[in-house]
Chain A
Amino acid sequence: MHFIKKLIRVLIVLIGVSLLSFILANLSSVDPAEAIARRIYSNPTQEQIQDIRTEKGLDQPILTQYARWVGNCLRGDLGTSYQSNQPVIQEMAGKLTATLFLVGMALLWIVLITIPLGIVSAVRKDRFCDHLIRIITILGISIPAFWLGYLLLTAFAIRIPVFKVVDYGNLRSLILPSITLAASVVSSSVRMLRATILENLKKDYVIYAQARGLSTAQILWKHVLKNALPPMVTLFFQNIGMMIGGSAIVESVFSWPGLGNYFVSAIVNRDLPVITGCVLVLGLIFVICNTVGELVNRALNPRMISGKEGKVV
């Protein structure tokens, strides 16, 4: 029953996402008929524009247009880019792969760094290590990602040329951009993990476990971390969607040929089909990530009623 309710809710959200994508793109002052005409004829006449408007159904009511657009999307057709004349879905697939590599590497950093730092910070609360980690993480959530990117570039690609300024296609090229992308997420995750562990350490089950004579390490690994997991899983999956959608800034710094750069250039060039397509796909990815996060949480902890932890910007 819960599953069906959940499914209906996801469907409603998806319909809303598609509607919002369509509305956002249609607020534009760009006349699609004219844009298409300019692609075919270098200097289109009013009649030619009118013909295309009729041919493409752009003179029909907005709801009819929306229905047709959704129908096309469901068949995997997101239209043709005004700039390149290529099918949007094809172009996007290549760009998305590049972004996924970047996000994948960033996720690796997040897991590898967050867990040890969060635990150390909580266990050594108010000691030197904890203070140091808290200072670093507060800087991490306050630093503009693009600025961090430039600092890393200046330091490790210009001053000490370990990396190249513009590089793509190998593991080495992934390191600086993925660190940049991961920095703020790692910082907020460490802080959250610390807070969650500290909160759990005060609970009755910990006192009970201590009374049973379990060692601190046993309590931490077997009980506290398991209970601290659900909110971290929710945050982790939300961050995947956030990073894929928010990679534009980091991609711009490192000239990374990913979805974010593609999206920004489409906006600068007012390439409507690409803008609509990107908004739709990014929204879908985010909904999918959140849903997967909830499913994982349910699988890990069947007693949980619902994933109500929300990420606070």
Chain B
Amino acid sequence: MRNKLLHNPQAVIGTLLIAIILLMGVLAPFLAPHDPMAVDITKKFLEPCNEYPFGTDQLGRCVLSRLLYGARYSLGLALPILAFLALIGTTLGMLCAWFGGIFDRLMTIVCDIFMAFPPLVIVLTLIGVIGQGAVNLILSIILSMWVWFVKVVRSYVLIEKDKDYITAAKISGCSGADILFSHILPNILPLLVVYFSTGIASIILMISGYSFLGLGLGNDIPEWGAMLNSAKQYLYSNPMLIVYPGTCILLTAAGFNLFGEALRDILSPEEE
């Protein structure tokens, strides 16, 4: 498995990109040449130079430092969101598929109702009524996406539970919990990792989109979407302020997408 990953260029590039972004976030305090929040109006819109390798923004803040700290916000928001979604999705999805019956039917209807709203609509409305802020953003993204995760996990478990080895496990007297956790879960885990990996990419894109609309975090926070939001007024004079944060978002999302897709290729039977 590890060998296959190493021999797949997609997987290698994806892993490298993810590693770079992670390092950027973790090492930001050591790598950043300046305080990302330090405002100095006298130094606004500086061209790239030795002191400010990527120049400065409209308030004279160091763009490079803000980009480095931005990795913290993107991953720092996306990872907890994914963790919650994975937990909710896996628990409810497994329960629905395993028990079936009335619980499963009710859940399917709830899923259909929530899925009738594009995630953007739910998040916009919730942010509109409960207000902005990191916690509210996390809550509303979870609320807008949980049903998708439940549905996917449910469909994986449904396929797996009809296989012969599960029948064999049942005959040999395994309990329901035993089968779910020591047989089905380990077997669908790779599929879940693929889904979660591409899921992170869409969560990162969503976060930046909401920040861009001015509904995520405040503009002073060095989050990539928020940086784009404040840079859009200077589209004519300083297009590079738009290019840098966008590239960061693109590379992060591409990293997780590449990794997820490569893993899917490796896991699919045609490659074996």
Contact = CB atoms under 8 A, between A and B. Distances in A.
Nearest to A270: B128
B236 interface: yes
Interface residues of B, number: 56
B130 A27 contact: yes
A50 to B, nearest CB: 23
A146 B212 contact: yes
A46 B251 CA distance: 55
A42 interface: no
Interface stretch (A107-115, A150-158, A205-213, A219-227): A150-158
A246 B116 contact: no
Given A27-B129, A153-B235, A248-B124, A142 B116 contact: no
A241 B205 CA distance: 19
A264 B249 contact: no
A249 B254 contact: no
A245 B124 CA distance: 11
A313 B254 contact: no
Contacts of B114: 20
A242 interface: yes
Given A29-B129, A267-B124, A241 B118 contact: yes
Interface stretch (B62-70, B170-178, B180-188, B195-203): B195-203
**How many interface residues does chain A have, given as a range?**
35 or more
Interface string B239-252: 10011001001110
Contacts of B258: 138
Contacts of B71: none
Most chain A CB inside 10 Å of its own CB: which residue of B109, B115, B121, B130:
B121
Nearest to A243: B118
Interface of B: 109-110, 112-122, 124-131, 145, 148, 151-152, 155, 195, 198-199, 201-202, 205, 208-209, 212-215, 225, 228, 232, 235-236, 239, 242-243, 246, 249-251, 253-254, 257-258, 261, 270
Given A142-B253, A283-B117, 20 more contacts: A12-B109, A20-B117, A24-B122, A24-B126, A24-B129, A28-B128, A138-B258, A139-B254, A141-B257, A144-B209, A144-B253, A150-B235, A154-B239, A242-B118, A246-B118, A266-B128, A283-B116, A284-B116, A286-B118, A313-B199
Interface of A: 9, 12-13, 16-17, 20, 24-25, 27-30, 138-139, 141-147, 150-151, 153-154, 158, 198, 202, 241-242, 245-246, 248-249, 252, 263-264, 266-268, 270, 275, 278-279, 282-284, 286-287, 290, 310, 312-313
